[in-house]
Structure 1
Amino acid sequence: MDAVQDRVRESVNSLFLGDVEMGKKDDDHPRDKGAGSGLRSAAWTWARVHPRKFIKRLAITFAVGFVVYLFIKNMPTNNPIRDHRRPVYHTQGQPGQQSPGSPPGRGLPPVRQQPPPPPPHLPNNKAPPPPQQYSEPAAAPAAAATYDGQLRFMALGETLRAISSTRGSFLVNKNVLFAAASVKSMTKLLPLACQMGSERRSYVHFVVMSRSGITLAELQQMNGIDASCNIYFHDARPDHASISTDLRMENSVDVAMTHIQLYMHPQAIIIDGTETEEDYLQAGMKTFAKSSQTSLIQMPRNGVRRLGWIAKLDSASLSSWNKISIDILIHAYPGASGSLIRLLKSLTKADFGGGSVPHVTIELPQKIDPPTEKYLETFQWPPAGFKDASGTRQLSLRHRIPKHGVSEEESSIRFLESFWPSHPQHSHVLVLSPQTELSQEFFHYIKFALLEYRYSNPALLQEWNKKLFGISLDLPHTALDGTTKLITPPPVKKADAAPVSSSSEDPSSFLWQAPNSNAILFLGERWAELHRFVAQLLELQHTLTPAEKKEHLAAKQVSKKYPSWLEHALELCQARGLWTLYPSSATASALATVHNELYKLPEEYETDVLEESNGRDPGGDRNAADEIRLGTKMVMETLSSGGSLPPFVDLPLVSWDGKQATLEQMNDQVVAYRTRFRRSIGGCSEGMLDVLLPETLFCNADEDE
């Protein structure tokens, strides 16, 4: 025990002794060399530490302790307790967190998105509560729209996969898409979408692409949209939409439409084309429509009131919205400057539905009246202030060179050479007489009727388009002979409908075998067909003997009060079985009127008619009471069946002479006339008549049908 105490005392003292003294101390106390000496030496080796090393270690210990003290004193106490059971991701839209592109120290408001409710067509769908006013929730201070991360659509896939019943995977289907980003634009378009869906002619879809946090359920509630509207809703807002840059939102429109195209293939896209709508949606939709060749319909200001009739059209009609083009052709007469100026003034006041204005061609006579010449010097087309008017001049003036009068043949050639459809299926021409004055809404009716009777699914399936020659804006009071009074036919009686008398206050539009020369839209295909027909006819007339020519002229059915080309148009309609659509009297009063007080005879017949009337003005016997006065009603208000156009098969039929007939009677008349024409004009022998195709009228080798 004493030996142990001595060893401890020795170890403590050695901490404060120099090297010499420690060596001397070791010499004074020799170690035991016995068996246990090695073990004791190893056990106490730790006490043999150099004094300088001890001081160094002590200093390090004090430094570490001081650092720990500072850390504990300044430790933050406001950090939330973290739950280590699951990882935490720094996502956009959480308060107190920063996005890669947001300024430091600014929190990001939450993005309110949720999957849309199932569309009305799906099971278990309930009508939303009554409409209520929507207001954006109070949010944190707005963050700068600087986020430009990768696009993700959290709710779009579910609704796109749910529309397989609409056959959206097919390129041709019945899908029509409404798209909106602004809440105000959504409010504008939803009533129109609801009306279109209620017609059940198309599958109507509505896609939301906004920055707003409004949910689809709230959107339906505030606009009174219920299951009866038959609308499929889709949420195509990208993640973090409220803080996304304009470029990201524009790209999101294009990317979302790529997905929508895959599942839906919309035949037409309808957006708000005014300044109310977001620029990024308009730009994105224009880019997509151009690349996909999809019709893009941009609703103008007050579009639901002005273009509400598009809700009556089906997907096939709307798909041709941007494909069709309409030119206007006016043949001016000498001494009719007042009529021409009145017509041009009515054109400048017309509403073209926010689209491009038609190109206008005016064929001027050799001698131009001074008032006409002065007016044309300042006439501007498109009209000044027209929203979509470009710097391109859409007016062509053609001045005839020959000073002498024109013959029937020259007049017909001049007329048909004034226009040629660049694409016969989509290029059409509106022929206007200078005596015509147009209403402000005439163009709406033309486009509505053209899309319905030429491009709709029923028109294509039942081949109405092959029977339609043109669409008239004028309702004549006499047949083409100039004397027989035309009696407007009553609507077709249906088996389950009450009888309708001819004196009905709601007369129907009708199909007449006779075309019109005052105000008529020629379909491009029919114009090209008439062009070829007249070329063949004039060529054959040059080979006729004087006796044959006299016989042919004696068979003339059209009065000389009408231009000569109308005779050829009537011949083609009789031989082919073609029809011109005429409006009811109520609709005609909302489209156009033909004035009688400044009536001018066709130039090619002016001398002949004056001789036949012994110098008396042939226009004097035109009853001013027959002149239709332009009314104040809108076109849609004059149409029956709630603003819809009646089906082609329900329209009454009128033969060329103004008599109502059945379809069977009309077919018999067409066959009989075609046979006579082939024999007398077409050069066909009796043996050829039974083997000719129905469309063949001429039997010469040069016929190009």
Structure 2
Amino acid sequence: MRGWRKMRSLLMSDEELGKKDDDHKPVKTAGQRRHSSWQPTRVPPRRSLKRIGLVFVIAILVYLFVHNIPVLGPNDRMRRPVYPPPHHPPPKHPDTPPPGDVMHPPDPATQQQQQQQTQPLVVDALERKFNGPIKFLNLAVSLQAITNTRGSQVNNKNVLFAAAGLKSAATLLPMACQMGMELKSHVHFALLGGSSIDMQHLWEINGIDKSCVVFFHADQLKDARPSYAGISTDARLEKAVFRGLYHINTYMHPQAIITDSLNDEEPYFTRGLKQHAKTSKTTVIELPRWASKSLGWITKLDSAALRAWNKVTIDISIQATPKSTGSLIRLLRSLSAADYTSSAIPHITIELPQHIDAATKSFLNSYAWPPSHVPNPTNKRYLSLRHRISRQKLTEEETSARFLESFWPAQPQQSHILVLSPHTEVAPQFFNYLKYLLLEYRYSTTAEFHSWSQHLFGISLEQPLITLDGEQPFSPPLFKHPEDVSGQIGRTANPFLWQAPSSNAVLFLGDKWTELYDFVSRTMQANENLDVIPTIVSKKVISKQHPAWLEYALRLARVRGYCFLYPGKEVGERLATVHGELYTIPEEYAVAALDDKGGIERIRQKTRAAPETQLVVSQSLSLLNSLPNHGDLWPLTALSVAAWEGAEVDSRDIRALATDFELEFKATVGGCKADSRKGQKPYEVGSAQDLFCNVP
């Protein structure tokens, strides 16, 4: 009753408090109708005001809490930046905005008019003390205009050039414009520094005009820099770089961020970029000094290939032979003089023979790898020497197994191996050439769409002059331009595909290396279970001047229809050369030389007398200028193809020959029945299990 009385006191006025309850009860008479002016009972005004006030107070508290979340721990960097309304409303555009409004610098007349209204703020470096809240005044407009680039998707065609210092911006702008002209990616440029220079002035200094097909993240004279950038502390600019990249990543998801050398960039930019890369896992490509000369070919790659830039690794394996001291020293010196700015430091493994002369020991004791001109912050040694305990006789199977055991890719899709003979000498640009071709033919969007890597076994640095049997001169097939229907252009010496492998200077793809390893292992097991070794594996078709493992590589290439990519004559002369004056026969055939001295001596003399290409070493010539077709790589399907014997064939003939050879190999070596699928295993990448029905 007490509760009811309190409730009633809220509903009644002071005069009514003294009346009885009965006076307020309406008298009801049976059948009596309600008065026509009757209305539902309304909530008294005092109670409504209390409710409205309570809701209003709660709303204010929620608003203050959301917009003033306290900074807790490192996650404060992930808060979204604040964007005040722009000075003018964003342009109304359809789903695909006009390219002229987004991808080009604005009109100079408009820029001059706005420059008169907005004077740049010039402050002394000592006045950089502002550390207030970070607000991006102009970045939202340009980011809202790139919806047609599908930036909301994780995989897209966006590539971002980012800079803070004006010198770095001058380095990146020409490369960004060049990449934009290729029309393979959506190229973006963002200035994230604390300089007060306006974009129009920056474009004029670097000769940038409307022909530059790049998304400049700028609102007229403004850019991706935060408010009060000119007077901000380094800590505020560092946080602004992090937040700016975070917001750009949210709307753009760039496949790669390309920057100038971080040693030449502003320290706050370097710190903010590294923190962003660690959080977002975005590929960051740091260009070295003089990148336009040594890495100009990077502008030819698309976003998918650039995404794999830091994931690709290349190891180097050198199989030293006895009495090859001079050749080995020459090779190692040429490796030290090469350019490795396009990739991580390659690891070198040298397989030494049992007997090492004093000159080789002395040179290896003082040999430093990586060389002094290659940055090595960890001071780690990337050189492994393996000194073998020799046996009285090394068979072809044993040497092949030992060779394949020298390397195993941790990630077959990303780790690759370069095999070099000690008689080889490489040019300074050889590593950039391999990286360029590997990214284009293995990781680009076109390569993935057409599955080029499915039939690519490796990439050679040299152009061979004789066939694998060592008897006939090899004439590489000439290239026919895809658009030369009438034959007016003529055929030229360009890169080509050859089914035959090389042992002098060849890069094996990681998954093909594991497949070769499995193929050799299963072949040896199958031969042990057979009473008579089939002719298809016992017949030797490769000259003994080559190592024994090359026979297995050729056999796998014939079974699968794989090919190796060889350079054209002019390009090959600028990549590597094989010297024959100090040639020594492979170790597995050295014992046979005692029984067939005449045959082995003929091989040695023929190899030493064979013509060799003279290595053209030019430090002034960039890789891009030394390649045909202005550095643009032809599609892999447009290249000419040669069968393993050396004759030019159609690519479809290679597939047909591979099918016939595979059926024969399965029947004679693999123990598979042609008319039955029983015991046959499915195909797996990096495995040869489907070729053998008699090996588990």
Question: Smaller-chain TM-score range?
Answer: 0.7 to 0.9
Say whether 1:246 aligns with 2:234.
Answer: yes
* 1:439 aligned partner: 427
Q: Kindly tell me: are residues 141 and 513 of structure 1, through their superposed partners in 2, closer, same or farther at Cα, counting changes over 3 Å?
A: closer
Q: Kindly tell me: are residues 154 and 391 of structure 1, through their superposed partners in 2, closer, same or farther at Cα, counting changes over 3 Å?
A: same
Offset, 1:389? 4.7
Aligned ranges for residues 334-483 of structure 1 at < 5 Å? 334-353=322-341, 355-483=343-471
Say whether 1:681 aligns with 2:669.
Answer: yes
Offset, 1:222? 2.2
> For residues 385 and 608 of structure 2, what CA distance do their matches in structure 1 show?
33
| 1:121 equivalent among 99, 106, 122 | 99
Aligned ranges for residues 512-531 of structure 1 at < 5 Å? 512-531=498-517
C-alpha contact (below 8 Å) 1:596/1:619 kept by paired residues:
no
Per-residue Cα deviation, 1:474-528 (whole angstroms, up to 9, x for no partner): 11111211122211111134344552788x5x41101111111101111111111
| 1:490 equivalent among 475, 478, 481 | 478
Say whether 1:225 aligns with 2:208.
Answer: yes
Offset, 1:654? 0.9
| Residue identity in the other structure for 1:160 | L
> For residues 205 and 144 of structure 2, what CA distance do their matches in structure 1 show?
26
SS at match of 2:418: strand
* 2:69 aligned partner: none
Aligned ranges for residues 106-185 of structure 1 at < 5 Å? 121-123=99-101, 139=122, 141-185=124-168
SS at match of 2:601: coil
* 1:627 aligned partner: 612
Say whether 1:598 aligns with 2:586.
Answer: no
Q: Kindly tell me: are residues 602 and 539 of structure 1, through their superposed partners in 2, closer, same or farther at Cα, counting changes over 3 Å?
A: same
Q: Kindly tell me: are residues 363 and 141 of structure 1, through their superposed partners in 2, closer, same or farther at Cα, counting changes over 3 Å?
A: closer
> For residues 477 and 448 of structure 2, what CA distance do their matches in structure 1 show?
26
Offset, 1:543? 1.4
Count of aligned residue pairs for this structure pair = 584
Deviates more, 1:354-363 or 1:197-206: 354-363
SS at match of 1:488: coil
| Residue identity in the other structure for 1:618 | I
* 2:278 aligned partner: 290
SS at match of 1:229: coil
Q: Kindly tell me: are residues 355 and 389 of structure 1, through their superposed partners in 2, closer, same or farther at Cα, counting changes over 3 Å?
A: farther
Offset, 1:237? 0.5
> For residues 606 and 200 of structure 2, what CA distance do their matches in structure 1 show?
66
> For residues 238 and 260 of structure 1, what CA distance do their matches in structure 2 show?
13
| 1:582 equivalent among 552, 566, 569 | 566
Question: Taking structure 2 as the reference length, what is the TM-score of the superposition?
Answer: 0.79
Identity %: 43
> For residues 501 and 163 of structure 1, what CA distance do their matches in structure 2 show?
41
Deviates more, 1:684-693 or 1:474-483: 684-693
| Residue identity in the other structure for 1:657 | E
Question: Taking structure 1 as the reference length, what is the TM-score of the superposition?
Answer: 0.78
Say whether 1:199 aligns with 2:177.
Answer: no
| 2:197 equivalent among 205, 214, 218 | 214
| Residue identity in the other structure for 2:188 | H
* 1:30 aligned partner: none
| 1:548 equivalent among 533, 541, 552 | 533
> For residues 669 and 605 of structure 1, what CA distance do their matches in structure 2 show?
31
Say whether 1:698 aligns with 2:691.
Answer: yes
Aligned ranges for residues 254-265 of structure 1 at < 5 Å? 254-265=242-253
* 1:636 aligned partner: 624
C-alpha contact (below 8 Å) 1:587/1:635 kept by paired residues:
no
> For residues 242 and 323 of structure 2, what CA distance do their matches in structure 1 show?
57
| Residue identity in the other structure for 2:426 | L
Offset, 1:151? 0.8
| Residue identity in the other structure for 1:417 | E
| Residue identity in the other structure for 1:311 | T
SS at match of 2:591: helix
* 2:61 aligned partner: none
> For residues 355 and 553 of structure 1, what CA distance do their matches in structure 2 show?
39
> For residues 204 and 690 of structure 2, what CA distance do their matches in structure 1 show?
62
| 1:190 equivalent among 140, 154, 173 | 173
C-alpha contact (below 8 Å) 2:297/2:631 kept by paired residues:
yes
C-alpha contact (below 8 Å) 2:313/2:343 kept by paired residues:
no
| Residue identity in the other structure for 2:174 | P
C-alpha contact (below 8 Å) 1:128/1:221 kept by paired residues:
no
Unaligned runs of 5+ in 1: 1-112
Offset, 1:467? 1.2
* 1:510 aligned partner: 496
* 2:557 aligned partner: 573
Say whether 1:301 aligns with 2:294.
Answer: no
Offset, 1:170? 0.3
| Residue identity in the other structure for 2:549 | W
C-alpha contact (below 8 Å) 2:427/2:615 kept by paired residues:
yes
C-alpha contact (below 8 Å) 2:581/2:608 kept by paired residues:
no
SS at match of 1:300: coil
| 2:524 equivalent among 538, 545, 551 | 538
Unaligned runs of 5+ in 2: 1-85, 92-96, 218-222
C-alpha contact (below 8 Å) 1:120/1:227 kept by paired residues:
no
Instruction: Report the RMSD for the aligned CA atoms in angstroms.
Output: 2.7
C-alpha contact (below 8 Å) 1:437/1:593 kept by paired residues:
yes
